[in-house]
A and B are shown apart, each in its own frame.
Chain A
Amino acid sequence: MDAIVPGSDADRLDPLEIPTLCPGAMAASQPWSASPDHQKALGFPGELVDDWQNVAIAKMGELLEKNRALRVYLDSCVKCGACTDKCHYFLGTGDPKNMPVARQDLLRKVYRRYFTFTGKYFPGLVGAEELTKEVIDDWYSYFHQCSQCRRCSVFCPYGIDTAEISMAGREILDAIGKGQKYCNEIIGKVHTIGNNLGLNKNALRSTLEGLEEDIEDATGVPVKLPLDQKGADILLVTPSADFFAEPHVDGLIGYAKVFHAAGASWTISSYASEAANFGMFIGSYEQMRLISLRIREAALDLGVKRIVFGECGHAWRVAYSFLNTLAGPFDFLDQRYPIPQHICEYTWDLIQKGALEFDKSKNDHIRLTYHDSCNVARATRMGDQPGGQFEIPRAILKTVCNHYFDMAQDTIRDQTFCCGGGGGLLTDELMDIRKKGASPRMKALKTVSEDHGVTHMAAICAICKTQFAKVMPEWGFERDAILSVHQLVSNAIILHKPEEENDDDR
């Protein structure tokens, strides 16, 4: 598939346009393998084990006993085809194995062969297949072309979620010693250092101090970014990308300004300096749990009353949907607040109380749209009402920005597309599939940009922000056209200088 030529104004771009089937188009797209050291650090075999076939089948059997979703999803698909045109990677590549049902079938055919009556005795009839090296190879390719975004599960009449399948597939691959470098190396860093980027405590402290200086230089207000402050009320857990690169760091500055304006007592923890939880990407409950427990430990050590999560998509899934399960109960926290709370919930709450002041005109150079990050949209909630995850970020943006326009309805909210880099795919060797997977979102963005002059897109996910910064220039946007939601908050928020307050007193 040739990419659409950026900037061509031939026809209006259709983000949902169904490509011609190109079998095998992406078969060669594979992430780098984890090194033996990275594998062993997580308790996985260093390299492909000798009896990999038996180990894989045994692991599959274990997962079938432990996870109802896997069993129900493998048994229930009727091949109706509802999901076939829903995956952004299929729309971007035309490779039929990127159709959710076909991706599932890579696992399902092996499940049928070894675990079902019909597959054992009539394999040809029901498409059951032996687990061979070729199948393992396909798994490694195509389970790493799923960003676990759940778009297919919205449309499936049985709610079959391919994310559950690709997670199981990756877990089996890890069990036989065929792990993915990007995820497993990063998880190792979290265990040893505390965050995905490997920023140690000193580096983190100097980063935060640098930011404090930057904010004071820009605003004249001494906004603090406290680290490891015992007795603080709020523990902020945010993706480590927020400490590192734009536009992430501008979001962090935004959170700090909101906390400052609210007069909140808050802190970041160097021990749990990572909201992201790549344990989810590799489908490992155990890894996800160990990473989550760091947050519990940090909250207990620092004696905080609340936990607030920064802008990060799958992190908010693990936080909202799984944290209570993995690291709860959080009976030691203040029960009057949601546990955990999203920074957008926190900010919106303050806005509703009238506790924050804004100068919207500060964002007048921006004509904005909003990308619903897939995991936030389809795997979490914000606020009290279902769908708050769509409304609250938009409500914040409309509070701080005068020019806001949604993209096409069938590409936002629970029908949103993944950015193309989620689910453990945000690594350079997968750039080809990442760019192709981003094309549905980019087409929708291009259209809203042509219709309404939209110049920027906001998101609340570290992966989305990184991915779009790479992809958007190819579609004629500036690299910095992707913004953090709290970056826009940061631009518009009015902070009072200490002198001003003195002036008021006189």
Chain B
Amino acid sequence: MLTTIYACLFYGATAIFLAGMVLRVTRFARTPAPLKIPTMPAPTTKSGVAYRLLREVTVFESLFRANKWIWAFGWIFHVALAVVLIRHLRYFVQPVPSLLALMQPLGVLAGFAMVAGLVGLWGRRLIVPRIRYITGPSDHLMLALLVAIGCSGLLMKFVAHTDIVAVKTFFLGLMRFDIQPLPSDPILLVHLGLVATLMIVFPFSKLVHAAGVFFSPSRNQVDDSRERRHLAPWAAKLEADRAR
């Protein structure tokens, strides 16, 4: 019964996550940008823009210039999350590549770093009046969700172990549409339930910033407005009335 519920939950969450994100991204992609609005100075070539975006998503360049504390906590959280996600790949592949096996201790370390980064960000929301002012219930909930996911994961690693081999069998089974039993340890169920929740809310929340950054005209446009005429389809229609 429990196994069936969680299997359905993960199929549903994956479907909602993928469909939601595809919908968001196509909507971003289909909406025209009528004017050239890169924040200057901007790259004058496409490869320059690719490099600008790469810097934004890897080292958070603009955020670094803005505020060192937010940058530090935010960057630590995101990098640690990436490492943790990579670490978790071991539960989805068989056999486990040696590099992935080797980085497991790093992944555990990243688990702590991720929670630390989140706590730092949360602390700013509570302590700094400006940021407290702009923080809403959903901002707290999102942090709570992520912290709870991190903490429940760390608890399983260090306090209350689960039958990780069975968990892996469950997920490998899910991927082959061959449902295998899931251990019923409470912490595991909480951890997995929260992860599924995160996947479900992702496309409907501010977490779409992960896709938004690539579609931001102020960051992804080339500074070439004098050389190349940029014209949105709806704007081109206005030109019908032009005499010359």
Contact = CB atoms under 8 A, between A and B. Distances in A.
Given A75-B24, A320-B225, A84 B36 contact: no
A68 B28 contact: yes
B124 interface: yes
A291 B206 CA distance: 38
B66 A155 contact: yes
A99 B129 CA distance: 12
Contacts of A150: 39, 218
Interface string A313-330: 000000011101100110
Given A159-B39, A386-B41, A126 B226 contact: no
Interface stretch (B1-9, B86-94, B136-144, B145-153): B136-144
A158 B238 contact: no
Contact of A66 (B60, B70, B130, B232): B232
Given A67-B33, A75-B212, A81-B70, 18 more contacts: A21-B129, A66-B32, A72-B28, A75-B209, A79-B131, A85-B67, A96-B130, A102-B134, A118-B138, A118-B204, A118-B205, A125-B141, A155-B62, A156-B62, A164-B37, A289-B238, A389-B41, A414-B39
Most chain B beta-carbon neighbours within 10 Å: one of A82, A105, A377? A82
B208 interface: yes
A239 B213 CA distance: 36
Nearest first, the 6 closest Cβ-Cβ pairs linking A and B are: A76-B212, A155-B66, A159-B218, A386-B41, A82-B66, A159-B219
Interface in A15-29: 18, 20-21
A157 B59 CA distance: 10
A82 B37 contact: no
B55 to A, nearest CB: 11
A435 interface: no
B230 interface: yes
Contacts of B66: 82-83, 86, 155-157
Interface string A288-299: 010001000000
A153 B39 contact: yes
Nearest to A117: B204
Contact of A324 (B27, B223, B226): B226
Interface string A400-422: 00000000000000100000000
Interface in B103-140: 121, 124, 128-131, 133-139
Interface residues of B, number: 65
Given A71-B28, A117-B204, A321-B36, A158 B213 contact: yes
Interface string B22-60: 001001100111111101111110000000000010001
A15 B235 CA distance: 41
B63 A80 contact: yes
Given A157-B62, A378-B39, A325 B238 contact: no
A379 B40 contact: yes
Contact of A322 (B35, B39, B63): B35
Interface string B221-236: 0010110111110110
Interface of B: 24, 27-28, 31-37, 39-44, 56, 60, 62-63, 65-67, 70, 74, 121, 124, 128-131, 133-139, 141, 204-209, 212-213, 215-219, 223, 225-226, 228-232, 234-235, 238, 242, 244
Most chain B beta-carbon neighbours within 10 Å: one of A21, A338, A386? A386
Contact of A78 (B27, B32, B206): B206
Contacts of A66: 31-32, 34, 232, 234
A204 interface: no
Contact of A157 (B56, B134, B226): B56
Contacts of A67: 31-34
A77 to B, nearest CB: 6
Nearest to A122: B138
Nearest to A119: B204
A336 to B, nearest CB: 13
A381 interface: yes
A159 B32 CA distance: 17
Contact of A99 (B44, B133, B242, B244): B133
A75 B208 contact: yes
Contacts of A389: 40-41
29 contacts: A20-B129, A21-B130, A68-B32, A72-B28, A75-B28, A75-B208, A75-B209, A76-B213, A78-B206, A79-B139, A81-B131, A81-B134, A82-B70, A86-B66, A96-B133, A99-B134, A126-B137, A154-B62, A155-B67, A157-B60, A157-B209, A158-B219, A289-B235, A324-B226, A324-B228, A325-B34, A325-B231, A386-B41, A386-B223
Nearest to B63: A157
Nearest to B129: A21
A420 B122 CA distance: 33
Given A72-B215, A150-B39, A154-B65, A325 B235 contact: yes
